[in-house]
């Protein structure tokens, strides 16, 4: 294994694995830190953690455990993957995990780049944009777990990290790899260790990847990984896929604007049942009942809890944020497990926490990377008769769920 990756959630990890696979690397995604060695054919290993919203100290422990395993597999470079909308509170995990990995690797110049132009995320003058809106005006300011109220990644990261935060501006990035390296060195010499790099085009990411050739640690969204495989002699190639017949279903727990549009579009054409969080918490709605309904429905049935921000706030005010989130994650985990036992062979999820709960509920340990469904979302084979698609909340076209099922079943 040559490139070792640590993702802070399952959807982001599959997004990263997808980026690397398209660029020609042989990639395997692992659910949690493996207990055995990777296959000899694996060039890039992606250890998917469910650490985005947990206590920072716990996130550091899990990330360092993953790092130790990746180091034992012979990796030459390491990548810390977080969301392209930098999902994190001022007390969050991105800074502490980056700090811990930097110290463990003795990394001094650390790229920080959440940009992913293919999905509308760009960094300019240190500020993160979603399409033409600042991050803090994109809908992410209302995220139920990680509200993003400041688009300045330098300022947000400085609240979390022990290290000084630097910046490489767009005009330097667009001057190419040599200038990027010069600016990274200059920022390092001025005492900056975490260095935010602007990127507004895929071409920028390619140049950043070249500049990171000799860096021990790179951090960011999956976009910045676009330029890394070439450093290992890889070239873009077609990702193979085998169709999976059988029964499909959708489980959606994301409250993002994109997912809510997708839920609305899918509900107009397929059976859909809204999951009321209060009913789940109070015990009036069970996983068994929901799994039976999904198994008995035609088309691509969907169970969703993708409510608007006001409804989510009301539930959190009544039951508490942690209790509400945990109840829904456990519910979706149980539904997935029961539906799989009932014969479902294709599962499509929306939302990082929901996807992580489903992966854990099904006990999936390794995922083979298939072709891209929409930017950032690959088809994944989880076993001989099970395929999945794990979608980040903000990703995908309005018809994503139908598109994903077409890809999964070939």
> For 247-408, which CATH class?
alpha beta
Predicted confidence at residue 310, as pLDDT, reads 77
Fold of 3-232: Rossmann fold (3.40.50)
Please state whether beta strands 133-134 and 27-31 pair in parallel, antiparallel, or not at all (unpaired).
unpaired
Predicted confidence at residue 381, as pLDDT, reads 96
Where do the domains of the chain lie?
3-232, 247-408
Predicted confidence at residue 212, as pLDDT, reads 97
Predicted confidence at residue 322, as pLDDT, reads 83
Backbone angles phi, psi at 212, to 5 degrees: -90, 10
Write out the two tokens for 43: 């060039």
d(CA 128, CA 198): 9
Predicted confidence at residue 316, as pLDDT, reads 82
Write out the two tokens for 354: 């929901």
Predicted confidence at residue 312, as pLDDT, reads 77
Write out the two tokens for 59: 């996130």
d(CA 250, CA 233): 38
d(CA 93, CA 332): 25
CB 370 within 8 A of CB 380: yes
CB 347 within 8 A of CB 388: yes
Please state whether beta strands 121-124 and 127-130 pair in parallel, antiparallel, or not at all (unpaired).
antiparallel
CB 155 within 8 A of CB 184: no
Predicted confidence at residue 410, as pLDDT, reads 81
Q: What is the pLDDT along the chain (410 residues), one digit of tens a residue?
A: 999 999 999 989 999 999 999 999 999 999 999 999 999 999 999 999 999 989 999 999 999 999 999 999 999 999 999 999 999 988 999 999 999 999 999 999 999 999 999 889 999 999 999 999 999 999 889 887 888 999 999 999 999 999 999 999 999 999 999 999 999 999 999 999 999 999 999 999 999 999 999 999 999 999 999 999 999 999 998 888 999 999 999 999 988 889 999 999 999 999 999 999 899 999 999 999 999 999 999 999 999 997 777 777 788 888 887 888 889 999 999 999 999 999 999 999 999 889 999 999 999 999 999 999 999 899 999 999 999 999 988 899 999 999 999 999 98
Predicted confidence at residue 190, as pLDDT, reads 98
């Amino acid at each position: 294994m040559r490139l070792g990756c640590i993702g802070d959630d399952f959807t982001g990890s599959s997004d990263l694995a997808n980026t690397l696979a398209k660029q020609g690397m042989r990639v395997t995604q692992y659910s949690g830190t493996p207990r055995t060695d990777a296959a000899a054919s694996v060039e890039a290993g992606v250890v998917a953690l469910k650490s985005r919203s947990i206590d920072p100290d716990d996130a550091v422990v899990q990330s360092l455990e993953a790092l130790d395993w990746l180091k034992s597999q012979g990796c030459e470079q390491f990548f810390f993957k977080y969301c392209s909308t930098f999902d994190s509170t001022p007390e969050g995990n991105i800074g502490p995990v980056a700090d811990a990995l930097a110290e463990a690797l003795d990394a001094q110049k650390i790229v920080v780049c959440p940009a992913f132009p293919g999905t509308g995320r760009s960094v300019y003058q240190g500020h993160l944009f979603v399409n033409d809106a600042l991050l803090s005006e994109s809908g992410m300011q209302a995220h139920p777990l990680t509200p993003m109220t400041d688009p300045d990644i330098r300022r947000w990261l400085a609240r979390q990290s022990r290290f000084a935060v630097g910046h490489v501006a767009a005009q330097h990035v667009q001057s190419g790899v040599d200038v990027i390296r010069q600016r990274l060195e200059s920022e390092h010499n001025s005492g900056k260790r975490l260095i935010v790099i602007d990127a507004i085009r895929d071409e920028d990411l390619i140049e950043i990847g070249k500049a990171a050739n000799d860096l021990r640690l790179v951090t960011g969204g999956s976009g910045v990984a676009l330029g890394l495989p070439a450093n290992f002699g890889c070239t873009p190639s077609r990702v193979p896929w085998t169709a999976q017949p059988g029964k499909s279903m959708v489980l959606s727990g994301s409250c993002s604007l994109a997912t809510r549009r997708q839920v609305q579009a899918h509900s107009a054409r397929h059976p859909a049942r809204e999951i009321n969080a209060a009913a789940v918490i109070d015990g009036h709605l069970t996983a068994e009942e929901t799994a039976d309904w999904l198994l008995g429905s035609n088309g691509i049935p969907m169970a969703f809890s993708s409510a608007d921000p006001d409804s989510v706030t009301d539930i959190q005010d009544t039951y508490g944020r942690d209790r509400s989130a945990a109840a829904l994650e456990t519910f979706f985990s149980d539904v997935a497990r029961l539906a799989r036992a009932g014969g479902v062979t294709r599962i499509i999820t929306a939302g990082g926490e929901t996807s992580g709960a489903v992966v854990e509920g099904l006990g999936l340990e390794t995922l083979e990377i298939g072709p891209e469904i929409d930017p950032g979302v690959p088809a994944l084979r989880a076993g001989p008769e099970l395929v999945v698609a794990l979608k980040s909340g903000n990703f995908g076209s309005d018809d994503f769920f139908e598109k994903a099922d077409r890809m999964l079943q070939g």
